[in-house]
Amino acid sequence: MTAYNAPLADMRFVLNELVDLDRLAALTGCGIDRGGLDHVLDEAGRFAAEVLAPLNGTGDAEGARLANGVVMTPNGFRKAYEAFVEGGWNGLSCPVELGGSALPRPVAMAVSEMWNAANMAWSLCPLLTQSGIGLLERHGNADQRRRYLRNLVHGTWTATMCLTEPQAGSDVGAVTTVAARRDGVYRLRGRKIFITYGDHDLAANVVHLVLARIEGATPGPRGLSLFIVPKVLVGTNGSLGAHNDLRVTRLERKLGIHGSPTCEMVFGEGEGAIAELVGNAGDGLPYMFTMMNNARLAVGLQGVAIAERAYQQARSYALERVQGRTPEGHPARLADHADVRRTLLIMRAEIEAIRGLAYVVAEQADLARLAEDQDERARALAVVDLLTPVVKAHATDVGFEIASRNLQIHGGAGYIEATGAAQHLRDIRIASIYEGTNGIQAQDLIRRKLAGQGGKTAQSFLALLAQSDTDLATVPELASLRQRLAEGVDALGGATRWMLATAARDMDSALAGASDYLRLFGLVAGGWVMATAAMRARYRLAAETAAPQDRGVYQAKLITARIYADRILPQAAALLGPATSGAVLLRAIGDEQL
């Protein structure tokens, strides 16, 4: 498997040109400057390349193991996690008072991208812990925050999300896990499946955040509550006590992410697992969505990360592999063939678009939490809500497509496990399934983010996209980008109006085009990112404010933006028809004819 080198140049471009990092740093109070940012990124890149990436292939081959009730991660994972905790990486964007560094979330996103690109299976453990921290910060009571958060922020303990049951996949309302009040405490019984890092040998405790129904509560989603169920009980002073009544009964055999233990968990085989209620009884699902939405952005970032790793591997192979001859009769590398070079540049342009979009949404997430003006907070939160399903679904779809193109560039060698190309394809396949399948993300975009808001936030976002036309009009060399983006914005606007009108009278017809609509949205949002990036690059080059070592980055950005316009954006207008086709033909074929 080829080495991984963090794409620091493009990460710095996004953080310096597309995100207002200075303002975010002032809001978080971290005091980071450009030199400090460069140091964080350099050190994270070194850790990813030298510590995590070498474990990716070996972890895939070895896998996690369950022996005598004990879950063991692959060789090297524990030592890497200890170094990760010792380096303070787990609390990068967490509050200083909890032991974190309070860095802006886009910086944490860049660093997390490196972890996931280097070793996605290992990175799933801190990913879920970060989401658990966000949930407890917002919904835990003072005592729970005092006893749990500092250890979670430090990484001494890790967190999980326990929703799925054998009979209750995406339909969490069918959850049957029950919590009963006995002798002043809740005792919980039930079985959960697909629990990522449900147990492991990396940390001293695992804090499970579990959806369950209090005994006697109403059926359905409104009857669910959220509980903290630690693997090892936590005393009033935060010290560890006895092992709780829970255990892992099975590790799943999976297509990919073999190093990550995916557990079946049984709670309460004896007296019942001791559980702490979070917040109000019956509000478990809204609380859990805090964790799920954070995790969905993180999963979208996995799409960016694996796309980058696969692109680097494809580029390296194409620049070295001699195959065929040039038109002049000389030996040719794969990269000398026009079709391969086209594929590589499309991969690069797509990655730059989804990376920029993910980091911009992370910026809005910080503003939704920290902006001084409440109206600005509300606007930022609405943008995060709107774009979270787009980032999660579109970026993971693109990540899988790019991993597949990596195999194609490798040819037959890519189909052989020894190259490592197949692992990237296998690993990223889960990202479009977990944390809500991409079809569910598309339905959420229509049901809640469009119809639920009356289209208000979507219309505001469309107006922002349309503003790019005015800006691009002043740059003749970006005429194709202006034209293609305008066509995409028109298609997205037309599809949005159709969705709003149709959902009001026939939701089934609207949902029939939901996935096509989300893809259309993602392509156009990516076009807006690339247009903004191109304008910033051109400004820096024209004003001669780009550092000499960065001029090549800015010049390349102008080219990749035009490639996105010519090769990728035209797909957007073509999706208008499928997105607005309705459900009539889907129902014309009966079940017996499927």
CA quadruple 18, 23, 29, 35: dihedral positive or negative? Answer: positive
What token pair was written down for 319?
A: 């620049």
CA gap 164, 182 in Å, rounded: 25
CA quadruple 336, 340, 345, 351: dihedral positive or negative? Answer: negative
Beta bridge partners of 186: 181, 275
The catalytic position among 264, 276, 435, 487 is 435
Q: What one-character-per-residue DSSP string does 180-206 give?
A: EEETTEEEEEEEEEEEETSS-SSSSEE
**Which ranges of 478-543 would DSSP assign to H, the alpha helix?**
479-505, 507-512, 514-543
Identify whether the C-beta of residue 27 lies closer than 8 Å to the C-beta of residue 371: yes
Identify whether the C-beta of residue 112 lies closer than 8 Å to the C-beta of residue 128: no
Identify whether the C-beta of residue 202 lies closer than 8 Å to the C-beta of residue 125: yes
* Residue written as token pair 């009544």: 245
Burial of 418 (0-12, 13-18, 19+ CB in 10 A): exposed
Distances (CA, A) of 59 to 7, 66, 194, 522: 23, 15, 19, 33
**413 DSSP 8-state letter:** G
Side chain identity, residue 439: G
Exposure on the CB side of residue 173, measured as CA atoms within 13 A: 6
CA quadruple 154, 61, 395, 526: dihedral positive or negative? Answer: positive
Rg of the chain over Cα atoms, rounded to whole angstroms, equals 24
CA gap 524, 84 in Å, rounded: 37
CA gap 245, 242 in Å, rounded: 9
Active site residue 435: yes
Neighbour tally for 345: CB within 10 Å: 16
Identify whether the C-beta of residue 500 lies closer than 8 Å to the C-beta of residue 517: no
Neighbour tally for 49: CB within 10 Å: 17
Identify whether the C-beta of residue 44 lies closer than 8 Å to the C-beta of residue 6: yes
174 dihedral zone (left: phi>0; alpha: psi -120 to 50; beta) = alpha
Task: For strands 178-182 and 70-72, give the pairing.
Answer: unpaired
**Which ranges of 14-95 would DSSP assign to H, the alpha helix?**
21-28, 34-47, 54-62, 77-86
CA gap 105, 92 in Å, rounded: 9
CA gap 534, 529 in Å, rounded: 9
**165 DSSP 8-state letter:** B
Enzyme catalytic residues: 435
